[in-house]
């Protein structure tokens, strides 16, 4: 690379916990509402709808229950009312009505607190945090996550969300502490492993980070987030081939990354072009040709996925930071890439031609005239 620092610097990525909807979480974390749901047919119907992810149907049925709350005991009403408000909040959130969702989650939190249900209060606070995060209000989101875990220090999803928010605020050391708390509750939580690895990368503890990322990959070899973060570590410890292999695994599931693969594209382009130009500079053209073929293969795949423009952007950023000598080597790279492209077009045309039925009256003259 050139002397100037590259403006698009790849960094570790973390992901908040996709906890589903608030009402489903309440059924998990608030034992009171679970018990009531088992004894009330309408609530049981709502629970089944939530399990089927039919939030619209659950919301309609919740309205019916709200109208008939007087039929339920006073003690139960204190628990059921905030639960029904969470359903309304989920419905509004799914519809993109974030202000309305915020209002319903806030009301649910007040009702849960009034009724003494600390666990349901934590769920409402967590989803208020997620609502704020989706609107770019990270500081507010952190406040709500903090309230959620203060009321329920075993709420793994809220602990993970708080940790990721702290990473986004460049407070990776504090984030590690939150992931540790989550892992004390659920040692097998893969997302906590990956996120702790991402936080440790931010503070330069690559060996420790690798341990947690390997745990996540042992549970799921196609984990894009773990593979991407591991690739960054491999680059840092000067193992470019291993880094490239990790990035290739991440490419297969790049949609699962928090930024839809944007940083992955840059990290991979930066790694591959650096290796290609270094190899061209050493006149090892056989190795350079292999690297260029690998580059073409994955960029062609990205283009077919509709994200080739991101690769192009990453290449342009890389080019803007090259020195004069690197630009000369890059010209060789571009020439060879065009040669590969021409060869692909030629072989494609030949393949199409060969796949045709051979005419009975085919002659050399017809072939030379192109009359096929």
Q: How far apart are CA 222 and CA 219, in angstroms?
A: 9
Q: What is the pLDDT of residue 308?
A: 67
Tokens linked to 191: 């997302």
- What does the pLDDT read at residue 177? 97
The full DSSP string for 14-50 is --------HHHHHHHH-HHHHHHHHH-HHHHHHHHHH
Do the Cβ atoms of 189 and 195 come closer than 8 Å?
A: no
- What's the CA gap between 315 and 334, in Å, rounded? 11
Which of 117, 108, 111 is CA-nearest to residue 33? Answer: 117
Could you state, in chain order, the average pLDDT of each consecutive group of 10 residues for the chain (372 residues)? 48 86 90 84 89 92 80 75 94 94 96 91 96 93 96 94 95 97 95 97 96 94 95 94 92 86 88 92 91 83 69 85 90 86 66 60 60 50
> Token digits for 30?
């608030």
Q: What is the pLDDT of residue 6?
A: 47
Beta strands in 144-254 (DSSP E): none
The DSSP-derived string for 330-358 is HHHHHHHHHHHHHHHHHHHHHHHHHHSPP
| Distances, alpha carbon 62 to alpha carbons 50, 69, 88, 126, in Å | 11, 10, 8, 21
* 126, 25 Cβ separation under 8 angstroms: yes
pLDDT of res. 4: 43
- The Cα 278–Cα 284 span in angstroms is 9
The pLDDT of residue 359 is: 60
pTM: 0.83
Q: Which of 13, 24, 15 is nearest to 93 (CA)?
A: 24
Using DSSP, state whether 114 is helix, strand or coil: helix
- From the list 100, 62, 106, 98, the residue with the least C-alpha distance to 81 is 62
Nearest to 161 by CA among 82, 86, 258: 258
What six digits make up the tokens of 201?
A: 């990368």
């Amino acid at each position: 690379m050139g002397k100037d620092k590259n403006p698009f610097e790849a960094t570790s990525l973390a992901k908040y916990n996709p906890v589903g909807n608030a009402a489903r979480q309440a059924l998990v974390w608030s034992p009171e509402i679970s018990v009531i749901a088992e004894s009330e047919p309408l609530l049981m119907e709502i629970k089944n709808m939530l399990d089927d992810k039919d939030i619209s149907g659950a919301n309609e049925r919740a309205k019916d229950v709200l109208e008939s709350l007087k039929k339920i005991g006073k003690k139960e009403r204190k628990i059921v009312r905030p639960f029904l408000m969470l359903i309304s909040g989920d419905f509004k959130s799914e519809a993109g009505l974030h202000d309305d969702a915020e209002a319903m989650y806030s009301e649910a939190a007040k009702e849960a607190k009034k009724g003494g249900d600390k666990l349901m209060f934590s769920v409402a606070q967590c989803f208020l945090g997620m609502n704020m995060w989706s609107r770019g209000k990270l500081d507010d989101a952190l406040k709500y996550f903090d309230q959620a875990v203060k009321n329920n220090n075993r709420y793994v999803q809220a602990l993970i969300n708080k940790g990721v928010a702290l990473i986004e605020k460049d407070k990776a050391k504090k984030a590690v502490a939150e992931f540790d708390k989550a892992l004390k509750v659920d040692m097998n939580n893969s997302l906590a492993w990956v996120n702790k690895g991402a936080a440790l990368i931010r503070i330069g503890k690559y060996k420790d980070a690798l341990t947690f990322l390997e745990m996540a990959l042992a549970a799921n070899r196609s984990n894009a987030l773990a593979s991407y973060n591991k690739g960054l570590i491999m680059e840092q410890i000067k193992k470019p081939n291993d880094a490239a292999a990790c990035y290739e695994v991440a490419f297969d599931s790049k949609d699962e990354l928090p930024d839809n693969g944007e940083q992955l594209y840059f990290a991979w382009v930066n790694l591959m072009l650096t290796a290609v130009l270094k190899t061209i500079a050493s006149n090892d053209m056989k190795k350079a040709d292999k690297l260029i073929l690998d580059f073409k293969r994955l960029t062609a795949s990205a283009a077919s996925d509709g994200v080739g423009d991101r690769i192009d952007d990453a290449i342009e950023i890389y080019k803007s930071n090259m020195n004069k000598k690197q630009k000369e080597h890059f010209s060789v790279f571009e020439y060879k890439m065009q040669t590969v492209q021409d060869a692909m077009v030629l072989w494609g045309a030949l393949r199409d031609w060969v796949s045709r039925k051979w005419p009975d009256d085919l002659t050399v003259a017809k072939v030379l005239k192109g009359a096929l």
